[in-house]
Amino acid sequence: MSIGLSLPRADGAEKLSGRATYTADIALPGMLHAKLLRSSHAHARLLRVDAGRARTAPGVHAVLTRDDVPEGLMPVYGYFIKDQPIVATDRVRHVGDIIAAVAAETEAQAVAALALIEVEYEALPVVASIEAALAEDAPELFPQAPIGFVPAYGEGARGALRPAKNICFEFGYRMGDAAVFDRCDHVFEDEFRFSRMWHFHLEPFVSVADARDGRIEIWSSNQNPFPLRKELSRIFRMPENAITVRVPYVGGGFGSKNNCKTEPAAVLLSMLAGRPVRLALTLAEGFLTNTQHAAILRLRTGVMSDGRLVARQSHIELDAGAYSDASPLVAEKAGYRIPGPYAWEHVESLCRCVMTNTAPAGPFRGFGGTQATWASESQIDMIARRLGISPLAMRQKNLLKLHQAYMPGESGVDSDMEDGLQTVLAAIHHTPAPDRGLGFAVGFKDGGGVNKPAQARVKVSTNGDVFLGCGTVEIGQGARTAIPQIVAEILGTSATRIRVAPIDTDHTPFDQGTNASSGIAVMGQAVARAATAVRDQVLGFAAAQMGTPPETLRLEDWHIIRGNERLPLGPMIMRYYGGTGFEFTADGFFKPDSDHHAPLEAQCVYWEIGWAAAEVEVDRGTGQFTVTQLVVAGDAGRAINPMLCRGQDEGSAIMGYAQAMFETMRYDAAGELLNGDPLHYRVPLAEDLPARFTTLTLEQGHGPGPFGSKGLGEGAMLPVAAAIANALEDAVGIRITELPLTPERVLRALDNLEKATA
């Protein structure tokens, strides 16, 4: 039995000993080192870029500016919208935009050469916030429309490119009739603001490219190697079979290491130099490369006097930064998830991606769901208190039931949400006291990606040694431990006999990417199907050799079991296939069915739920407050490896806690990032954590994955900020609607409350 055991991490010894190979460790013969020259302006025309002196600097083999991009390339990239240049061409759009790159014998020589490049700018007006970008007199950041497309949507959903100035994409969803607002007893309108975080993965963005002789080989710290290969094929106009992407261990990503980051510049420098090139950013450069979306969320919610929810209209504006990156995807998720886990008669949401002169924003753990849950779960509490109803009773009245469809055409919810909420409340041990409060919230998101395909391959040797090929990237979540446990269970063997092959797009079966908590629920199903097919092959072979029906046999530790007989497979295989032996092999594939009745064109694979309860104590004199207890739970369906599940939920909950209490990227009006380095960017320390911090892994058993499993690792982040804000109101009667929840904001809210009640 392998499922449900907290087996040690398969990569633990390598990582603890320092033997594990990450992209930063790759060293090729003759490899050069690259560094980037970045814009000091948030918005400006590039009048002149003169790299003449840099080209003759010691150790320099290649310099890349707009003048060095070969004709015929498509030198821009992005998800739905191709708007981010490899190096700036006509203008720069944020502080840190890439103007030039140098490849030299050493990093020091590359840095020295960058200082020799002369750049002349013509400053342009800066829009560093959503409000500034939407102002009537704001400059248009993209006067010419970049290449872009809108994905297919099902009933009730729609998308649009460039619906207005400085809006690159909008997503809308509508269900029901807005006329129901007219019969609501109450209609509440509230605005919430969501702060921007940085992913803070300790391994930087890094790639090593060898682009010679009409081929590209690239080692990348990347979460989706196959889409990366496709994008490089488009940029460099090369067939995909001329491009090989290899992904070793990835030292954290949290969504940021999707699609192109360092790869195009590294490839182009390698082409120019005729040698391999390593491009590794510093952590400080990471702040300038990809971030989370800040947001403004406005909710209009109609309810009855007894607390029954009727209608919700939402208007969300995401700060997309200077380039679109995955903003359309985040808009889709925020707009679709904003109703939360509740039953409604009418839903209408609009989410727009607003371009600003700040760092590009992209996927971030729980993307779209974090923004939506903060606003939705805050407002649910606010409405309950306005109506004089307990926040718990309000949720109990309106939560979707197990198997109830989220929206028309959508799949049913696969967790008992009230049971999870009661579980965290039972675990928090709250005692009411002056200036002490309890808050809770439910995080809710569709999981597994949209219409996401995955393939896997399982091979078994003559001696029963197993080889597993799948494209799920090991980014610290434990995929190389948990996924082999699925194979081990099906083949009746030990997980220690299973080797996961390194990811190489030439040989690894296709996967869309390691994101959306899809490793178990999506790839796990492909792996289970491959393992089941191999097992059936083996049993069919043994049945033919033994002259018995295969259903009378079972496989255990590479032996065939028939009644009381236990026959080793190795000799049986050798007798039939000869001295070379044989390998049994099979592929597995999984993809949710396309369905135009589903709003996102395919029903959700599973629903990722997180529940949080928080207790706070507030010092009214200073605004300082302490989260004394935090209890967070997620539903794994069936935990393949309980310890890995716990680790994922703990990490996710702490990121939610960081969002609530500390983390925010601060820009000034000129577009300058004021805390864009690890020293000045505040993250929680061990001493900042609640005195009592508990995570619970629920196994409700309703997941679609192998053995009833579901994905997790994002859901526990979603409800934490709202739970803490709700606890603050319970403690001292204040409502804060902007993150992070700082002592200054608490003190200001207390002062305003005192004035209002004086």
User: Which residue type does 527 have?
Assistant: V
pLDDT at residue 449, as a whole number: 87
pLDDT at residue 235, as a whole number: 98
Which residues in the chain come in under a pLDDT of 70?
none
Classify residue 523: in a domain, yes or no: yes
Which 3 state secondary structure label does DSSP give 753?
helix
Question: Where residue 277 sits, what CATH number does that domain have?
Answer: 3.90.1170.50
Number of domains in the chain: 3
The Cα 469–Cα 731 span in angstroms is 53
* Strand 559-562, strand 565-568: pairing: antiparallel
Question: Do both 444 and 459 map to the same domain?
Answer: no
The Cα 648–Cα 610 span in angstroms is 12
Question: Do both 628 and 561 map to the same domain?
Answer: no
Question: Do both 569 and 644 map to the same domain?
Answer: no
Question: Do both 564 and 610 map to the same domain?
Answer: no
Using alpha carbons, select from 248, 394, 179 the residue that is nearest to residue 307: 394
pLDDT at residue 42, as a whole number: 98
Exposed / middle / buried, residue 620 (Cβ in 10 Å: 0-12, 13-18, 19+): middle
Of 590, 606, 623, which one is at a domain's C-terminal end? 590
pLDDT at residue 579, as a whole number: 85
Question: Do both 206 and 334 map to the same domain?
Answer: no
pLDDT at residue 425, as a whole number: 98
Question: Do both 441 and 458 map to the same domain?
Answer: no
Question: Do both 264 and 317 map to the same domain?
Answer: no
Classify residue 195: in a domain, yes or no: no
Classify residue 119: in a domain, yes or no: yes
pLDDT at residue 247, as a whole number: 97
pLDDT at residue 1, as a whole number: 72
Enclosing H/E stretch for 318: strand 309-321
Question: Do both 612 and 722 map to the same domain?
Answer: yes
pTM for the predicted model, two decimal places: 0.97
Classify residue 154: in a domain, yes or no: no
The Cα 166–Cα 102 span in angstroms is 32
Question: Do both 431 and 473 map to the same domain?
Answer: no
The Cα 103–Cα 274 span in angstroms is 11
pLDDT at residue 421, as a whole number: 98
Classify residue 170: in a domain, yes or no: no
Of 544, 566, 590, which one is at a domain's C-terminal end? 590
Classify residue 188: in a domain, yes or no: no
Classify residue 331: in a domain, yes or no: yes
Question: Do both 637 and 602 map to the same domain?
Answer: yes
Question: Where residue 299 sits, what CATH number does that domain have?
Answer: 3.30.365.10
pLDDT digits (tens, 9 = 90+) for 282-305: 999 999 999 999 999 999 999 999
pLDDT at residue 758, as a whole number: 79
Classify residue 131: in a domain, yes or no: no
pLDDT at residue 71, as a whole number: 93
Question: Do both 272 and 315 map to the same domain?
Answer: no
Q: Is the separation of the CB atoms in 116 and 53 below 8 Å?
A: yes
Question: Do both 22 and 119 map to the same domain?
Answer: yes
Residue 50's alpha-carbon distances to 12, 88, 176, 357, 752, in angstroms, are: 49, 13, 59, 24, 56
Residue-number span of the structural domain to which 76 is assigned: 12-124+202-252+257-286
Of 522, 555, 590, which one is at a domain's C-terminal end? 590
